[in-house]
Every structure is written in C-alpha cells, then in structure tokens.
Copies of this chain bind each other. A is one copy, B any other.
Amino acid sequence: MAQSNAQELEQCIDNCQQCHEVCLRTALTYCLPKGGRHAEPSHIRLMLDCAEICETSANFMIRGSDLHRLTCGACAEVCDRCAEDCEHMGDDETMRRCAEACRRCAQSCHQMAGHAMAGAGMR
C-alpha cells in the first residue's frame, strides 16, 4: 500500500510543485487583496508554510534523496491542515481549487512517507 515506484515519485513531485504554486499564488494575489478572514495572519502563514514545505519536499525527490520520506511526511500533514483551512473559507471557487491541490499533494506525500492510508490526514 505504501510502496513507491518511479512513476509515483514523479507524480508526487508534480503534486508538490502544483501545490507550491497554487498556495503561493492564491495567498498573495487572491487572499491578501480580498481581505477579511482570507487575509488573517494564521491563514496566510499556513499558505506560505504549505508552499515552502512543498517546494522543499519536491527538491528532496528531485535530488533523488532517500530521505524524502521525512520531508513528504511533514509535507503531507501541512497540506492536510492547509486544505482544511481553505475548505472552511466558505463558498469560494478559488479556495476550493487550492484545497484540491493540497489534498492531492497530501495524498501522494502520505504514500511516499509510508503512512498507512487509513491514517492519512488523521494524525
């Protein structure tokens, strides 16, 4: 279940890169200008946290590091939190797309980290 092969690794890199870009872009060009709860420090901070750990996690995999399970483990949990936060913003298509990118990244990172699927998103 937690096996990783070359194809899954490349998919995880893609998912991390997508999530990095969406979180950074959304935080700066959508959430901050929109204001209100979208611009709350805790939300912006979480979006920036998510963008950065995704970047780092992707870089570990791109370098071919066997320690990527450690960064993927941290990344999966940060992405789960960020997805939740985005989902709680209400009826907002942009945040929904951001949450989807976070969920996709979290899922493949949990897998890379060797987390049992049942535990994904539950720690």
Contacts and interface: CB of A to CB of B under 8 A. Distances in A.
A64 B63 CA distance: 21
Given A39-B39, A44-B32, A74-B74, A63 B17 contact: no
B64 A29 contact: yes
Q: Is the interface of A mostly helix, strand, loop or mixed?
A: helix
A100 to B, nearest CB: 18
Contacts of A56: 52-53, 56
Interface in A68-84: 70-71, 73-74, 77-78, 81
Interface of A: 13, 17, 21, 24-25, 28-29, 32-33, 39, 41, 44-46, 48-49, 52-53, 55-56, 59-60, 62-65, 67, 70-71, 73-74, 77-78, 81
